[in-house]
């Protein structure tokens, strides 16, 4: 490769196009997520940028657009705590023959719950691969989400869908559950991640049946179960007899917005270091950290959303940098926008 050429992994980029539709709620998609560790694009010098041909410039742009379109995980205290507590719980459950304990990851939307449990699952699966090199028939972790208005059959089918098991209309619930349990026991599954648990309402018969199905899976599969959802303490999941059983077996992990301070600045700095823009000056994003906190409410999910959006817009517009105006041009999610207006109104009221 000569000095003026752009390292252009276009073959890798296009090969991944076929995997874009893979979902973590399937075994193939989950394994793709676990194995996916894309290297950042090659950073070009000013001299190399000037010598790019038009095809090379477009290739460089395409690679960086794909890079910034990905959700880059920042190692937050929330993720570290979830991974640590998950590992401890898996170890404590290793020789349990009775009721195994699990984790309940709960907090407002945008505080990193789904990312935290996904990283726990990824860490657990990578550890298992180290302990069992070359073994391909193990499924250390399983990830499913609870659909809105889920029924017991739907949640059982989500487990089966992850494993690629057929779910035919003539199969009854017992057939589906027995198939799932048999495969997961044979595959040595030791971690089950259940996301969007706030979609379960124990106040309804259907929701109670979904809860009972998850409980039955937990009793049959020798694995640690981790539930994640929005404000689970206040959504009825812990109410009544079933809720009391959940509360007695699950240790809570609370996710919250990050306060303004050194940890927040460190997160912003990490996001800045991960940007691949040709005209971005060091410290540009860090200098906006206090304003970014006010703009996002300290929500890590919102921060990731606006920075990724601003980075993509900077590449498409050829400005190749991020400014406050560029970030403000990225629409906030509805809930985040409502929270921002509420904070602004409260601030005005408090002003003398």
The owner of tokens 């193939």 is 28
C-alpha dist (Å) from residue 10 to 38, 63, 148, 319: 13, 7, 39, 23
Residues 244, 263, single domain; the answer is no
Residue-range definition of the domain harbouring residue 269: 257-344
- The tens digit of pLDDT for each residue in 216-236 reads 999 999 999 999 999 998 877
In a domain, 62, yes or no: no
Q: Which residues contact 309 (CB under 8 A, 6 or more apart)?
A: 330
Instruction: Kindly calculate the radius of gyration of the chain based on its CA atoms and give it in whole angstroms.
Output: 23
Residues 206, 92, single domain; the answer is yes
The owner of tokens 């691969």 is 129
pLDDT class of 334 with cuts at 50, 70, 90: low
- Tell me what pLDDT residue 11 has: 41
Q: Are 146 and 209 in contact (CB under 8 A)?
A: no
Where is the domain boundary, 254, 279, 313? 254
Lowest mean pLDDT among 12-26, 239-253, 309-323: 12-26
Q: For the residues 76-88, what does the mean pLDDT come to?
A: 94
DSSP, res 100? P
The structure's pTM equals: 0.85
pLDDT class of 16 with cuts at 50, 70, 90: very low
Mean pLDDT of the chain: 88
In a domain, 135, yes or no: yes
pLDDT at 181 over 70: yes
Residues 104, 245, single domain; the answer is yes
Residues 96, 208, single domain; the answer is yes
**pLDDT over 70 percentage in the chain:** 88
The owner of tokens 């057929």 is 166
Where is the domain boundary, 254, 280, 298? 254
- The tens digit of pLDDT for each residue in 143-167 reads 999 999 899 999 999 999 999 998 8
Q: Which residues contact 227 (CB under 8 A, 6 or more apart)?
A: 102, 103, 104, 105, 194, 197, 237, 246, 250
In a domain, 314, yes or no: yes
Residues 137, 167, single domain; the answer is yes
Q: Are 217 and 177 in contact (CB under 8 A)?
A: yes
Residues 180, 327, single domain; the answer is no
CA 330 – CA 317 distance, rounded (Å): 14
In a domain, 325, yes or no: yes
Residues 246, 305, single domain; the answer is no
Where is the domain boundary, 225, 254, 283? 254
Residues 125, 234, single domain; the answer is yes
Residues 224, 91, single domain; the answer is yes
Q: Which residues contact 132 (CB under 8 A, 6 or more apart)?
A: 138
In a domain, 201, yes or no: yes
Closest by CA to 247, choosing from 232, 262, 261, 258, is 232
Residues 82, 181, single domain; the answer is yes
Residues 105, 248, single domain; the answer is yes
- The tens digit of pLDDT for each residue in 69-79 reads 887 788 899 99
Q: Which residues contact 264 (CB under 8 A, 6 or more apart)?
A: 258, 289, 293, 298
In a domain, 160, yes or no: yes
- Tell me what pLDDT residue 346 has: 56
CATH of the domain at 330: 1.10.8
Q: Are 228 and 197 in contact (CB under 8 A)?
A: yes
Number of domains in the chain: 2
In a domain, 352, yes or no: no
Q: Which residues contact 228 (CB under 8 A, 6 or more apart)?
A: 104, 105, 106, 113, 114, 116, 117, 193, 194, 195, 196, 197
CATH of the domain at 148: 3.40.50.300
In a domain, 20, yes or no: no
pLDDT at 18 over 50: no
CA 185 – CA 177 distance, rounded (Å): 12
- Chain centroid, CA 144 distance in Å: 12
Longest dimension (CA), the chain: 70
C-alpha dist (Å) from residue 318 to 49, 51, 75, 276, 322: 13, 17, 30, 13, 11
Residues 285, 248, single domain; the answer is no
Alpha-helix runs per DSSP H in the chain:
10-15, 27-35, 46-50, 54-69, 77-93, 113-131, 152-163, 173-186, 205-220, 240-249, 262-273, 289-296, 300-317, 324-328, 334-350
CA 5 – CA 115 distance, rounded (Å): 37
């Amino acid at each position: 490769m000569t000095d003026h050429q752009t390292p252009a992994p276009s073959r890798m980029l296009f090969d991944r196009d076929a995997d874009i539709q893979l979902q973590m709620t399937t075994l193939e998609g989950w394994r793709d997520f676990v194995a996916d560790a894309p290297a950042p694009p090659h950073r070009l010098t000013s001299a190399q940028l000037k010598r790019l041909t038009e095809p090379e410039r477009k290739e460089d742009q395409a690679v960086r657009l794909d890079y910034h379109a990905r959700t880059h995980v920042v190692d937050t205290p929330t993720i570290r705590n979830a991974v640590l507590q998950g590992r401890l719980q898996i170890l404590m459950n290793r020789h349990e023959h009775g009721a195994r304990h699990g984790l309940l990851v709960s907090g407002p939307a945008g505080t990193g719950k789904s990312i935290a449990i996904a990283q726990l699952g990824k860490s657990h699966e990578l550890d298992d691969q180290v302990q069992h090199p070359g073994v391909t028939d193990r499924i250390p972790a399983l990830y499913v989400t609870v659909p809105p208005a889920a029924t017991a059959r739907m949640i059982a089918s989500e487990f089966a869908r992850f494993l690629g098991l057929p779910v035919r209309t003539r199969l009854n619930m017992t057939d589906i559950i027995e198939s799932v349990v048999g495969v997961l026991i044979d595959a040595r599954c030791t971690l089950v991640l259940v996301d969007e648990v706030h979609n379960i309402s124990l106040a309804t018969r259907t929701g109670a049946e979904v809860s009972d199905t998850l409980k039955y899976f937990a009793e049959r599969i020798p694995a640690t179960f981790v539930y994640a959802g929005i404000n689970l303490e206040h959504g009825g999941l812990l109410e009544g007899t079933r809720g009391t059983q959940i509360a007695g077996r699950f240790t809570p992990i609370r996710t919250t917005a990050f306060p303004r301070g050194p940890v927040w600045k460190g997160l912003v700095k990490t996001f800045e270091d991960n940007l691949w823009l040709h005209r971005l000056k060091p410290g540009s994003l860090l200098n906006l950290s206090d304003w970014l906190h006010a703009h996002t409410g300290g929500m890590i999910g919102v921060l990731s959303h606006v920075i990724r959006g601003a980075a993509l817009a900077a590449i498409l517009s050829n400005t190749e940098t991020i400014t406050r105006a560029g970030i403000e041009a990225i629409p906030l999610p509805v809930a985040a926008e409502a929270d921002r207006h509420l904070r602004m109104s409260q601030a005005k009221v408090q002003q003398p």
